[in-house]
């Protein structure tokens, strides 16, 4: 993402009880409730414990004029403990009914926490290691969420529709789930919209059906995806499908008002993807592309999986940045929001490498400019002081400086690129922490880099210039 932080001001706590009289029991299983939150350093209530989601099947009937939806979420998950109850994250929308393993479940609501207590006779399906299915029917007007830094996420209204953006916890504004990057899943998303509008999501478009006054789009994401990377954009778009020389499918959707201004940059998507694959390892997904809305539809671009979202025509530098996130953030996803510098540091360093290769700007010049900028020394990139800071300058620019110092420590560009490609291969489609990364670098290089980490990754002050 560039250039803002996205964090949710959680809604006021209210409690609503649905499906009265449908209570759970032990059913002979000594289960316990899953945790209401994963204790993320910045969002302790984000995500939920006791299960891992393996697949989301989301269906939407969307009325853009009224900004209302009628939706069903079918969530397939594996229990990681014996469960008597479990939570989903959902902000604002009304839950009409819920079932677990085909039987009605009791539903309690407290703010964005949705607690489901299955019927006693299905608790055996929630034993540790068992896979179970939850169906939630819900409706209403999805919320636009305001973060501590004033940015917006969740469901954003546009001139002719909407755009759903989820970093870091905005996906809970439009579908119930385990809203934390540590729990990745595959997705199917079906959206029915008024005829003449297009619904664009992640993955690949598997069907488009016109029926009377509506059109239904079905998107399938085969590779695991964190909830914050899911998107659903509705509006009038010029769409184009093609294939790169390497066989990767390309799907672009561009608002007609910015199509001409976007064309030259979007035509370089195959070039950018190939260039990054040569440096970071094979492109991790079966499709790529871009979604381009109008300026001010959002205040930022976002690395939504497979096809980044841009508010207006992107520059080549921003395209390079968001495409680099397909490796760093989308395929290799941060274990917690404290690890966000791994996303943004690598994506920013990709910009520096592109400038060196394509524009003749040495990486050292980019490094020196970042080093001279006082804003980059406000805090260590691996220790942002608060949720409002995780997308601030040190996470990006100083994060990129950390990557450059690793490159210098390796001392050979071929070995450095092999190290980077090895990292993306080792954690492909998974999650990783800062500790995972530093251990990997030291193991791969055979070097003790304690001084590097203490100075550049965790150090509070600007070190003396060293000819970098």
What is the predicted pLDDT for the residue at 234? 98
Please give the Cα distance from 439 to 433 (Å, whole number).
10
pLDDT (tens, 9 = 90+) of the chain, 468 residues, equals 644 433 333 333 333 333 333 334 444 457 999 999 999 999 999 999 999 999 999 999 999 999 999 999 999 999 999 999 999 999 999 999 999 999 999 999 999 999 999 999 998 889 999 999 999 999 999 999 988 778 899 999 999 999 999 999 999 999 999 999 999 999 999 999 999 999 999 999 999 999 999 999 999 999 999 999 999 999 999 999 999 999 999 999 999 999 999 999 999 999 999 999 999 999 999 999 999 999 999 999 999 999 999 999 999 999 999 999 999 999 999 999 999 999 999 999 999 999 999 999 999 999 999 999 999 999 999 999 999 999 999 999 999 999 999 999 999 999 999 999 999 999 999 999 999 999 999 999 999 999 999 999 999 999 988 744
- Which single residue is written with the structure tokens 């990709």? 350
Tell me: cis bond preceding 413? Omega within 30 of 0 counts.
Answer: no
What is the predicted pLDDT for the residue at 104? 97
What is the predicted pLDDT for the residue at 30? 76
Q: How many residues does the chain have?
A: 468
What is the predicted pLDDT for the residue at 150? 81
Q: How far is the first Cα of the chain from the last one, in angstroms, to the nearest whole number?
A: 27
Contact 117, 26 (CB under 8 A): no
Contact 305, 285 (CB under 8 A): yes
Please give the Cα distance from 395 to 386 (Å, whole number).
12
């Amino acid at each position: 993402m560039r250039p803002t932080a996205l964090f949710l001001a959680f809604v006021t706590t209210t409690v609503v009880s649905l499906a009265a009289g449908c209570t759970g029991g032990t059913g002979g299983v000594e289960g316990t409730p899953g945790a209401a939150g994963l204790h993320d350093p910045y969002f302790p209530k984000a995500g939920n414990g006791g299960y891992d989601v393996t697949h989301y099947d989301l269906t939407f009937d969307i009325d853009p004029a009224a900004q209302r939806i009628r939706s069903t979420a079918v969530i397939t998950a594996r229990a990681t403990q014996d469960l008597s109850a479990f939570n989903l994250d959902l902000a604002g929308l009304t839950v009409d009914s819920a079932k677990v393993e085909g039987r009605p479940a009791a539903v309690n609501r407290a703010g964005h926490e949705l607690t489901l207590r299955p019927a006693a006779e299905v608790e055996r399906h929630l034993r540790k290691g068992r896979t179970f299915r939850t169906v939630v029917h819900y409706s209403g007007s999805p919320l636009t969420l305001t973060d501590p830094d004033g940015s917006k996420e969740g469901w954003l209204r546009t001139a002719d529709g909407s755009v759903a953006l989820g970093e870091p916890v905005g996906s809970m504004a439009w579908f119930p789930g385990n809203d934390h990057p540590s729990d990745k899943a595959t997705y199917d998303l079906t959206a029915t919209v008024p005829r003449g509008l297009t619904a664009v999501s992640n993955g690949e478009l598997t069907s488009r059906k016109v029926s009377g006054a509506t059109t239904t789009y079905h998107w399938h994401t085969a590779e695991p995806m964190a909830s914050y990377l899911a998107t659903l954009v509705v509006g009038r778009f010029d769409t184009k499908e093609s294939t790169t020389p390497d066989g990767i499918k390309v799907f672009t959707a561009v608002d007609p008002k910015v199509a001409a201004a976007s064309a030259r940059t979007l035509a370089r998507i195959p070039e950018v993807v190939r260039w990054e694959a040569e440096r970071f390892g094979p492109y991790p997904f079966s499709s790529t592309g871009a979604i381009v809305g109008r300026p001010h539809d959002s205040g930022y671009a976002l690395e939504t999986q497979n096809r980044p979202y841009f508010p207006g025509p992107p520059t080549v530098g921003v395209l390079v940045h968001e495409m680099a996130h397909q490796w760093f953030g989308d395929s290799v996803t941060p274990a917690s929001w404290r690890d966000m510098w791994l996303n943004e540091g690598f994506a920013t360093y990709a910009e520096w490498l592109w400038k060196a290769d394509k524009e003749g700007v040495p990486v050292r010049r980019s490094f020196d400019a970042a080093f001279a900028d006082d804003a980059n020394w406000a805090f260590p990139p691996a220790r942002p002081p608060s949720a409002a800071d995780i997308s601030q300058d040190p996470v990006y620019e100083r994060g990129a400086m950390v990557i450059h110092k690793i490159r210098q420590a390796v001392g050979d560009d071929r070995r450095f690129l092999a190290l980077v490609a090895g990292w993306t291969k080792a954690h492909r489609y998974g999650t990783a922490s800062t500790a995972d990364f530093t251990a990997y670098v030291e193991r791969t290089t055979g070097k003790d880099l304690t001084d590097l980490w203490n100075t550049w990754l965790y150090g509070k002050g600007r070190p003396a210039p060293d000819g970098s």
